Chains A and B, each alone.
Chain A
Amino acid sequence: MNTTRRTVLKSATAGSVLAGLIAAGALRPTQVLAAEWNKAAFDAHDTASALKGIGAGTPMDSKDLILKVPDIAENGAVVPVDVISNIPNTTSISILVDKNPSPLSASFDFANGALPEVSARLKMGQTSMVKAVAKADGKFYTAQKEVKVTVGGCGG
């Protein structure tokens, strides 16, 4: 099955719903990911250690960092999060969930015209504060909001 499917994938033409489909390995890796995965930060079990792991220490509250989350998540398996930074020279945004077993969810660096904005969907085990952290000119800023979770999203 897998072999057949792979053959089909390789011969699939662009222009279908799979426009631009490239079978894995058929394209040379254009970029080797520059940074090593930040194990210390992602493995941290509390927010303070995770913040330390990304070099943020104690970020300052900022009203220019906009965090959009639902007040209530019908299911913690998928919690939509939008972060927009209006802080000049923002170069990175991280998202954390205080009460998750590993609070750091994701971290993004922006360059070459990418606006400091990101949307993602996160798992939340329980009701918790969600934090956005932005880095601009070497300083860290934060905004947070609580999301109530009606059904946890990590158990199954």
Chain B
Amino acid sequence: MADPMKIRAQLKGDVAEIRVLMGHAMETGQRKDAAGKTIPPHFIQSLTVEVGGKKVVEGQVGTSVSRNPVFGFKVKGAKAGDKVVVSWVDNKGDKRTDEAAVA
């Protein structure tokens, strides 16, 4: 099972600064293992960020995003206590959803 995400959402004025750390191999499909066999691609493809029940960011990513990806977003109009929900889905259909509150 994938690691839980680490989500930080800090309010600066009326802008929430959101940082998300995801645990994922982000395998490119170009690496070879010790036996010389190609390691199949395994990577996050889509992510969404919701703040206060509204979808604010929808992202699509490819194999060239680093292993254990980190993303940063800013959302205007957020309030302390607003729920931040982040979800991702990878190319094998694995998915994960975690949440935090704007602080």
Contact = CB atoms under 8 A, between A and B. Distances in A.
Q: Do chains A and B touch in the complex (CB under 8 A)?
A: yes
Interface in B37-63: 45-46, 48-51, 54-63
Given A2-B1, A6-B1, A106 B66 contact: no
Given A19-B100, A24-B95, A78 B7 contact: no
Interface in A1-60: 2, 5-6, 9, 18-22, 24, 27, 29-31, 33-35, 37-38, 42
B87 A105 contact: no
B73 A117 contact: yes
A150 to B, nearest CB: 16
B70 interface: yes
A94 B54 CA distance: 22
Interface residues of B, number: 51
- Chain A residues touching B, majority SS: loop
Contact of A38 (B4, B60, B63, B99): B60
A22 B98 contact: yes
Interface in B51-87: 51, 54-67, 69-78, 85, 87
Contacts of B57: 108-111, 114, 118
Contacts of B1: 2, 5-6, 9, 24
Contacts, number: 158
Interface string B10-54: 000001000100000010101100000000000001101111001
A123 B26 CA distance: 10
Contacts of A105: 61-62, 64-65
Given A5-B1, A108-B58, A27 B97 contact: yes
Interface residues of A, number: 52
A12 to B, nearest CB: 9
Given A9-B4, A20-B98, A29-B87, A114 B74 contact: yes
A156 interface: yes
Given A29-B87, A117-B74, A123-B28, A107 B59 contact: yes
Contacts of B99: 20, 22, 27
B97 A106 contact: no
A126 to B, nearest CB: 12
A33 B89 contact: yes
